[in-house]
Chains A and B, each alone.
Chain A
Amino acid sequence: MNERRNGLKEKITNNQIWQSMFRHGYEKTGRRYTLQVLQNVWLHLHPPRVTRHAINFRFTWCMGGITFLMFLVTAVTGVLLMFYYRPTAEYAFRDIQYLEFDIPFGMLLRNMHRWAAHGMVIAVMLHMFRVFLTGSYKKPREFNWGVGVILLLVTFFLSFTGYLLPWDQLAFWAVTVGTNMARATPVLGHEGPFAPQDIVTQANDVRFALLGGTIVGPSTLLRFYILHCVAVPLLASVLMALHFWRVRKDGGISGPL
């Protein structure tokens, strides 16, 4: 029996296909553990060795990890929502209603996306607060603090672009007010300080680029949809990869240097 089982195991594992995917044996050695983590695209995100202080919850609050978890939840639920939502003035609001009231688990799906998004904003701010309190922004982590600040703004922008998509009164007026603030952008906004008169106008300033027009309209909806679903998540992913890589290079998570 045991022999047969070993024979079967040998058959499954001792061939080129298996060994091309699982490149290390199962001997219980430190070298094998390390290699398995380091040479696997999924596992290499984790450090091969974790120090005791790095898993001290009271020190990190796990807020960076929770932010990332929230991002993953919004990404997965967001992709599912994209199957039902059409970003045009005719359909957007109706599709949201349809999601809320007709599609099985649609309400749950949409609210998972919504609450994970709120959770991400809260978690990312608590994460920043924690990093500030523990002095983890200091050299050599100052570059990563900078990346983190950009990621905070990217998170806000994800949140803001998602706000318009339900295309209801709240969304419309919130984005009207929010984008009108861009009028006051220095140099690039037509009502901002240092903006050259008659050259920077309502029809070519930074707000115009954001809206795809001079008022919140169908082009704004489409524009915000593309920013929300493609452009900003891509930017966030690249910056997050940089952020995590930098954490490792700067002495690992939460360690005294």
Chain B
Amino acid sequence: MTDMPEEGEQRRTFFKMGMAAIGGLIGIAMAIPLVGFAISPAFRKASKKWVDLGIADLLKGSQYKKINYTFSTKDGWVETNKRRSVYVTDQGDGTFLVYSRVCSHLGCLVRWDERKDQFFCPCHGAVFDSAGNVVAGPPPRPMEKLPVKVEDGILYVKES
């Protein structure tokens, strides 16, 4: 009779391990789709594409021109239309400069003031000069310059 408790103990251990194994298996089977769904966009390669801004000749001029455009991209889990706003100018030699209007501080849209020759951000009073460098306010770095190209007379910017 003395070995009886040991047998019971063995059975209990066996059931404990069996329960843990089955529970773990069900847990993993459920976790794969859940975690996969939640983090899958993090592993997607960033797709960059060229977006058409218009006929290059019409955008020439020393003053900044504001252009709003939309482009479709897969952002996160879903395909969406992103709206962007940029300032375009040409440097006189036919090459273009395109600045994103998104302030490098916290993402508000900056406004070009022709009389002062500066960009202003309404949210926290940032000021950038005509080359996009920080003049005043909190931004940590200059305005973002987007990659550009002209093909068949059309101006394109690279969007991600």
Contacts and interface: CB of A to CB of B under 8 A. Distances in A.
Contacts of B22: none
Nearest to B80: A217
Report, nearest first, the 6 A-B pairs whose CB atoms are least far apart: A204-B42, A213-B76, A213-B75, A180-B106, A180-B107, A177-B106
Most buried by B among A173, A191, A203: A203
B147 interface: no
Contact of A219 (B46, B80, B107): B80
A203 B106 contact: no
B49 interface: no
B77 interface: yes
Interface string B64-84: 000000000001111010100
A203 B80 contact: no
Interface in B75-127: 75-78, 80, 82, 105-108, 123
Contacts of B108: 173, 176-177
Interface string A201-216: 1011000100111110
Contacts of A181: 106
A218 interface: yes
Interface of B: 41-44, 46, 75-78, 80, 82, 105-108, 123, 140
Nearest to B140: A191
Contact of B77 (A191, A204, A212): A212
Given A176-B106, A181-B106, A203-B46, A214 B76 contact: yes
B123 A213 contact: no
30 contacts: A173-B108, A176-B108, A177-B106, A177-B108, A177-B123, A180-B105, A180-B106, A180-B107, A181-B106, A191-B140, A203-B41, A203-B42, A203-B44, A204-B41, A208-B41, A208-B76, A211-B76, A212-B76, A213-B75, A213-B80, A214-B75, A214-B76, A215-B75, A217-B75, A217-B80, A217-B82, A218-B78, A219-B76, A219-B77, A219-B78
Contacts of B80: 213, 217-219
Contacts of B106: 176-177, 180-181
A208 B46 CA distance: 13
Nearest to A89: B80
Interface residues of A, number: 18
Nearest to A178: B106
Interface in A212-249: 212-215, 217-219
A142 B107 CA distance: 39
Contacts of A215: 75, 82
B107 A177 contact: yes
A173 B82 contact: no
B85 to A, nearest CB: 12
Given A173-B123, A213-B76, A218-B78, 14 more contacts: A173-B108, A176-B107, A176-B108, A177-B106, A177-B107, A208-B41, A212-B76, A213-B75, A214-B76, A215-B75, A219-B75, A219-B77, A219-B78, A219-B80
Most buried by B among A180, A191, A201: A180
